[in-house]
Amino acid sequence: MRDGRRTLILLAAIFGVLLAATLLRNRSSEPAEAPTLNDLPFERVFPTLTDGDIQAVRLQNLADDSFLTLVRDETGQWAAPDIPGVLDQEIAALIVRTVVILPVQGVFGLEGNPDLRDYGFNPDGNLLIQIVLTNGTQHGIVVGGIAPSGNGVYALVDSQPSMYLLERAAIAFLVAQIQSPPTA
C-alpha cells in the first residue's frame, strides 16, 4: 500500500509539474490574475466543464475490467461506493479536476474507415472514462494507445468522428487511481 501511495504521489507531482511548466512557459511578463478554467494555455476535451458540473466519474481499465467510481453525495463530498475504506477527498477532487482539465495536444478527423488498431484500440482501447453531469448529461472517453511521440495517447470522445491526442501524464495519473484507489 505504501508503494502504491508513493506512486500516486509521484504521478500527481509529475502532472503538477507539467501543468506548472505549461502555465509558466505561456505566462506574459505582466502580472495577471490567477487563470480560470477558461484561461488555461491549452485546449481541454470539454472546454465548458467545471468541477461543480460533475456528479459522477467512472474510470475503467479495459484490459482487466478493474474500475474506480466516484459519486458526489448530497453534501458535496466524494464517495467511492465500490471500494472499502475511507476515500481521500483531496485525491478524489484531484481525479475530478484532472477529468475536467484533461489537456488536448491535438485533434484530427478520421476520414474513411481507418483501422483503429493503429491507434491502440484492440478492439476496445485501454481506459474508459465515463462522466455524469449534475444535469444528467453523460460523456465518454475511450483511451487507446500511446502516440509515437510518447507524450500523448489517442482517444475517442463521445460519438465524435475525430481522434484526440491527450496528455499522457494526465491519463497515467487516472490509471494509477484504478490500480491503487485513494483510500485511507
Each residue of 112-150: pLDDT tens digit? 888 899 999 988 899 999 999 999 999 999 999 999 999
Does 23 have pLDDT greater than 80? no
CB 15 within 8 A of CB 173: yes
pLDDT at 17: 47
Cell 458540473, residue located: 53
Mean pLDDT of the chain: 84
Contacts of 32 (CB under 8 A, 6+ apart): none
CB 50 within 8 A of CB 37: yes
Q: Which helix (H) or strand (E) holds 115?
A: none
Does 111 have pLDDT greater than 90? no
pLDDT at 22: 52
Each residue of 63-105: pLDDT tens digit? 999 999 999 999 999 999 999 999 999 999 999 999 999 999 9
Does 151 have pLDDT greater than 80? yes
The residue among 175, 145, 181, 151 whose CA lies nearest residue 163 is 145
Contacts of 115 (CB under 8 A, 6+ apart): none
Tell me what the mean pLDDT of segment 11-37 comes to: 49
pLDDT at 32: 45
Tell me what the mean pLDDT of segment 150-162 comes to: 93
pLDDT at 28: 45
Burial of 28 (0-12, 13-18, 19+ CB in 10 A): exposed
pLDDT at 123: 82
